[in-house]
Amino acid sequence: MIQSLLIANRGEIACRIIRTARRLGIRTIAVYSDADADALHVRQADEAVHIGPSPARESYLVGERILAAARQTGAQAIHPGYGFLSENSAFAQSVIDAGLIWVGPNPASIDAMGLKDAAKTLMAAAGVPVTPGYMGADQNPDHLAAEAAKIGYPVLIKAVAGGGGKGMRLVESAEAFHDALASCQREAAASFGNDHVLIEKYILSPRHIEVQVFGDSHGNVVHLFERDCSLQRRHQKVIEEAPAPGMDEATRAALCASAVRAAKAVDYVGAGTIEFIADGSGALRADRIWFMEMNTRLQVEHPVTEEITGVDLVEWQLRVASGEPLPLAQEDLAIHGWAMEARLYAEDPAKGFLPSIGKLELLQFGESEGAGGRGRVDTGVFEGAEVSPFYDPMIAKVIAWGEDRDEARERLSERLSDSAVWPVKTNASFLVKALDHPDFVAGTVDTGLIGRSSAVLAQTPQPSCEVLEAAAAALVPDVPVSGFRLNAAPIRTAWFLLDDQEIEVALHPGGGGEAVEAVMVAEQGQAWRLSPWRREGVHGAAAGSGAIVSPMPGKVIAVDVEAGQTVTAGQKLLTLEAMKMEHTLTAPFAGIVAELNVTAGQQVQVEALLARIEAEAE
């Protein structure tokens, strides 16, 4: 078994690898950039080495710096995680040439599957069904347009070196083809240094189904069943599940057999994923599922496979890289229950999913209920950590397991709903809405579901009246309820700030206690900070009334004017102390202090009339 392991990655996946390595007694070495000096993976590893500035191209993507760190620490092996250099065959070869163990497939296998067109040609020769399309070398725009016409619209233009949703365009008509091609080629050249594309038939109701495969150096290859990753936003996976809904045993057997043939065709060793596209317009059938590509690494969504099989895929990676055979044979593997994973991102759905950065002042994940506590949260951050602008904005992968699909879905929804992150914005409520979407509940999901429903899913939620009123009671615990309303309970309201939004909340008699400065409100996976409305100027004054009312319960510690005194707009009138802070109340306009109802040292309640300013007669 490997004795020391350098993890050439960061964040959640680095922490995930460290967890298994520690259980196996393997010494772990982390690498980090300037931005990650205090990151969780650095804290958790046995040793850590600084490898450069914050941008990935100057640190995590510089293979020589990672190799230097391995030499410096005496690491025996390098695990690349996913992303960064994980599918870079040249880096894999340099690790091997340095006399280190590469925890991944052979460089030749990476190369064989690295370009989509070559991979499809290879798969077709191996008897794996591939999507109808054009994968030729002629990249003349007119020739590509002619091939698209032969295939029949709609078609998908895809960069042969693409991945992660980049270098991909859906084209629905011949008139739109040339512009889409030029755009796709520009993006492909910028992202991958290769502007060659392939064209394939676009399936109108596509489902993204993939099979986890695993090979060892003794010629064994197994599959660990399928995952469904159809819930996507702009080709980026959002929620993944295993097994795939609607998959019968005969179709599963044919699909997984194709995946094993694909892995054997490239002498695959280690963890890999064969990705397929399925026609979701009807029931899943083996003759309507086609090879799309292979990811020659561990997938982000690997936990759902672990949850339904009971296998630790990182442990398998380390054992296979150490030369051991696969721990289990195909007949020893089975599906148990259902698992779902949601990717919790630091992004704001209401603002076009723009990344949200900053300090995680509040970070709480909902607890896993029932099922023996199965399900987990894989994260690379902690409360108090910074969400950096330099890397993927993932906060965590939230995973739930259940005896069946409904139970797994409900548990994941509850766990996300009970999570709270602040002030960084997240997509938690978006995920909850997606899980509760009627089509997702029914299991009739295709890759276009989010696009069709994005306006509803991305709406910013607001906390309920019940939650706000409970929070207000903590801020104003002793509320004297007065006033009479015919056939109705007396009611008082006060103004508060919900983050930066001014809101009016009903107050109810409290149970006593001491007021606090602010309360965190959490609901539907969102978090807000509720605090008294500290008005800088016209505190509680109705338009033009000149009424100065107390915005909260407190103590008047200074009175700077007298009754009958002439004041100017913005002049300081008095100072109120509340929540251990001082709040200055000022004149809303020039006039005379017509009424002054308090003295220094006096306690006042919320909305008490403290003073009144009358405008001078013209």
Concerning whether 297 is annotated as a catalytic residue, the answer is yes
Average pLDDT of the chain, as a whole number: 89
3-state SS record for 191-220: HHCCCCEEEEECCCCEEEEEEEEEECCCCC
What does the pLDDT read at residue 135? 86
SS3 127: coil
The structure tokens listed for 507 are 């107050």
Give the whole-angstrom CA distance, residue 502 versus residue 419.
24
Residue 486 phi, psi (nearest 5): -60, 125
Which pLDDT band, with edges at 50, 70 and 90, does 510 fall under?
Answer: low
Give the whole-angstrom CA distance, residue 536 versus residue 585.
7
- Confidence check: pLDDT of 372 > 50: no
The alpha-carbon radius of gyration of the chain (Å, integer) is 30
- Confidence check: pLDDT of 486 > 70: no
Residue 43 phi, psi (nearest 5): -65, -35
The pTM is what? 0.79
What does the pLDDT read at residue 580? 42
**Better-predicted residue by pLDDT, 256 or 558:** 256
- Confidence check: pLDDT of 579 > 60: no
Non-local CB neighbours of 486 within 8 Å, separated by 6+ positions: none
- Confidence check: pLDDT of 240 > 70: yes
What are the C-alpha distances in Å from 308 to residues 11, 42, 244, 252, 295?
24, 30, 12, 15, 21
Provide mean pLDDT across the span 168-190.
91
- Confidence check: pLDDT of 512 > 60: no
Tell how strand 386-387 and strand 526-532 pair up. Answer: unpaired
Find the helix or strand (DSSP H, E) in which 241 lies. strand 236-242
What does the pLDDT read at residue 483? 44
Give the whole-angstrom CA distance, residue 122 versus residue 117.
9
What does the pLDDT read at residue 309? 98
**Better-predicted residue by pLDDT, 616 or 23:** 23
Residue 267 φ/ψ region, left for φ over 0, alpha for ψ in the -120 to 50 degree band, beta for the rest:
left
What does the pLDDT read at residue 532? 83
Give the whole-angstrom CA distance, residue 323 versus residue 422.
46
Non-local CB neighbours of 190 within 8 Å, separated by 6+ positions: none
Helix (DSSP H) and strand (DSSP E) numbers for the chain: 16, 35
- The residue type found at 82 is Y
Mean pLDDT lowest among 380-389, 398-407, 517-526, 598-607: 598-607
What does the pLDDT read at residue 470? 86
For residue range 149-167, list pLDDT tens digits in order: 999 999 999 998 876 667 8
For residue range 415-458, list pLDDT tens digits in order: 999 999 999 999 999 999 999 999 999 999 999 999 899 888 98
Which pLDDT band, with edges at 50, 70 and 90, does 29 fall under?
Answer: very high
Tell how strand 236-242 and strand 27-33 pair up. Answer: unpaired
Which pLDDT band, with edges at 50, 70 and 90, does 509 fall under?
Answer: low
Q: Which of 10, 169, 252, 297 is catalytic?
A: 297
Report the percent of the chain where pLDDT is more than 70: 91
